[in-house]
């Protein structure tokens, strides 16, 4: 019962601040399509909640829309993981080798809220993982994936991040897009826009 109440409170709080989400970065990546036996293009977003001052990794698939909560410290850890990927990519190209390995000290323990149908669910137990994966000796990708979690309100409703595959061009764009400078620019733009809109109330 306590878990259900906590879930309802979390959802109410989440919905109450949803309108204050800023899209910090809208990025491109790929999913592996089993039916086509190949990659298909997709998008994701990094959002910032101006009330809670936290970030979200937002993605959607055919079933769910998910908001994975990322703290400021976790975002900095994520930046370092992206930089480590770039270091490994350079080494792998120079050595002409293929590697399939988790990036060190990169796992993030997160909360997630997701929408399935018309209903909202959440879990405190999502883990984001980051891997270096070589398609060939000259193409090395950055992968984001997660474990599967069940809703605390309904154990039959589950969620996981559909695996994202990034090429180096995507990683460089993402790293720049979530830099402190770019984030501050987006927040300042949002505040200025709010000031303008306040003049017309």
pLDDT for residue 61: 87
Average pLDDT for consecutive 10-residue bins of the chain (201 residues)? 42 47 96 81 96 95 94 98 98 98 98 95 97 97 97 88 97 98 95 87 80
Structure tokens at 40: 């298909």
DSSP 62-92: SSEEEEEEE-HHHHHHHHHHHHHHHHHHHHH
pLDDT for residue 30: 96
Give the integer Cα–Cα distance in Å for 67 and 115: 9
Structure tokens at 163: 């695996």
Asked if 54 and 22 count as a contact pair (C-beta separation under 8 A), the reply is no
The pTM score is: 0.86
pLDDT for residue 163: 96
E-assigned strand segments in 97-167: 100-102, 108-116, 119-134, 140-146, 149-150, 158-159, 164-166
Within 13 Å and on the Cβ side, how many CA atoms surround 24? 25
pLDDT for residue 112: 97
């Amino acid at each position: 019962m306590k878990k259900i109440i906590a879930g309802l409170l979390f959802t109410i709080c989440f919905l109450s601040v949803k309108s204050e989400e800023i899209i910090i970065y809208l990025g491109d990546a790929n999913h592996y399509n089993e039916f086509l036996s190949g990659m298909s293009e997709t998008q994701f977003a990094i959002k910032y909640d101006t009330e809670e001052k936290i970030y979200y990794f937002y993605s959607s698939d055919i079933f769910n829309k998910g908001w994975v909560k990322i703290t400021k410290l976790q975002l900095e850890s994520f930046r370092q993981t992206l930089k480590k990927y770039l270091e490994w990519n350079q080494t792998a190209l120079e050595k002409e080798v293929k590697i399939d390995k988790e990036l060190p000290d990169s796992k993030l323990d997160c909360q997630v809220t997701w929408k399935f149908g018309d209903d909202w669910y959440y879990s405190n137990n999502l883990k984001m993982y980051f891997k270096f994966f070589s398609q060939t000796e000259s193409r090395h990708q950055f992968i984001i994936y997660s474990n599967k979690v069940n809703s605390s309100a309904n154990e039959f409703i589950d969620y996981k991040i559909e695996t994202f595959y990034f090429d180096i061009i995507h990683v460089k764009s993402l790293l720049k897009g979530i830099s402190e400078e770019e984030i501050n620019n987006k927040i300042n733009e949002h505040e200025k826009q709010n000031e303008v809109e306040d003049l017309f109330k």
